[in-house]
Amino acid sequence: MKDSIWTRTRAAAPARETLTREQIVQAAMETLDTEGLAGLSMRKLAAKLGSGATSLYWHVPTKDDLIDLLIDETYGEVDVPEPELAGWRSGAMLFAHSLRAMILRHPWLPEVVYTRPSIGPNATSLGSRGLILFGAGGFSERDVDFAMGSVMSFVFGTANAEVAVKTSIKNSGQTTEEWVQDVLEQARVATADDAMMQESLRRRSNRDLATMHNEAFVFGLDCLLDGLEGRLKK
């Protein structure tokens, strides 16, 4: 595995250098959120900042390093409540919703978050605070890692699916309503002889896609937390 920007000593930029790492990360984040990973290059980023590529490389030696910085920046947006204020279950729920909202704000994240270890300061702070939150609920030893990991896996899984759907809609050139109706109609034709599926499709007709995603997320999260709470009572 390659070394990480988080395990290297940060080189000092020349005294005359006015560009900062924070400015680079902010500009790169704006590019990724609007154009995706395909729209990000060090050359284009330098032009956006009105700087030379050499100035970028003083602060961020490679594009991979920049991605590591950006991933960690997103983790800094996630709220992890203190258990004394929220209680572990309410805190876990708030944490899950905050994590989901962050992923949906940065649809490029699922493409890269699994490809490298998240060991930056924001990621490790989130991990530490999360372990405190779940530990306050009564989980201990490996169970506290598994409990927090289960919630994060659920959130990433459902949010990644939402991102994929939104990307498909964007690429189709249709409105969300047109896309949903096309999918439902194709499903109706394909399952014409399946009464159970036809009834399921009927329930989803004339429903707002965002509302369905929200309701499904809340339902799944409640079920997961019910299961975790049940383990604590054994």
Q: Is residue 129, in this structure, part of any structural domain at all?
A: yes
Q: Is residue 1, in this structure, part of any structural domain at all?
A: no
Q: Average pLDDT of 170-195? A: 94
pLDDT at residue 143 in the model: 96
**Quick check: 12 pLDDT over 80?**
no
Q: By CB neighbour count within 10 A (0-12 exposed, 13-18 middle, 19+ buried), where does 229 fall?
A: middle
Q: Could you tell me the residue range of the domain that residue 26 belongs to?
A: 21-74
Listed in sequence order, the residues at least 6 apart from 116 whose beta carbon sits closer than 8 Å to its beta carbon are 4, 64, 67, 68, 71
> What pLDDT digit, counting tens, does each position of 68-107 carry?
999 999 999 999 999 998 899 999 999 999 999 999 999 9
Residue 53 and residue 136 in one domain: no
Of the pLDDT bands very low, low, confident and very high (cuts 50, 70, 90), residue 18 is confident
Residue 64 and residue 147 in one domain: no
Residue 170 and residue 117 in one domain: yes
pLDDT at residue 211 in the model: 94
**Quick check: 122 pLDDT over 90?**
yes
Q: Is residue 10, in this structure, part of any structural domain at all?
A: no
Listed in sequence order, the residues at least 6 apart from 39 whose beta carbon sits closer than 8 Å to its beta carbon are 31, 32
> What pLDDT digit, counting tens, does each position of 24-38 carry?
999 999 999 999 999
Q: Is residue 122, in this structure, part of any structural domain at all?
A: yes
Q: What is the pTM of this model?
A: 0.92
Of the pLDDT bands very low, low, confident and very high (cuts 50, 70, 90), residue 15 is low
Print the SS3 string covering 91-110: HHHHHHHHHHHHHHHCCCHH
Q: Is residue 4, in this structure, part of any structural domain at all?
A: no
Task: Give percent of the chain above pLDDT 70.
Answer: 96
**Quick check: 14 pLDDT over 70?**
no
Domain boundary pick from 29, 54, 74: 74
Residue 145 and residue 202 in one domain: yes
Number of domains in the chain: 2
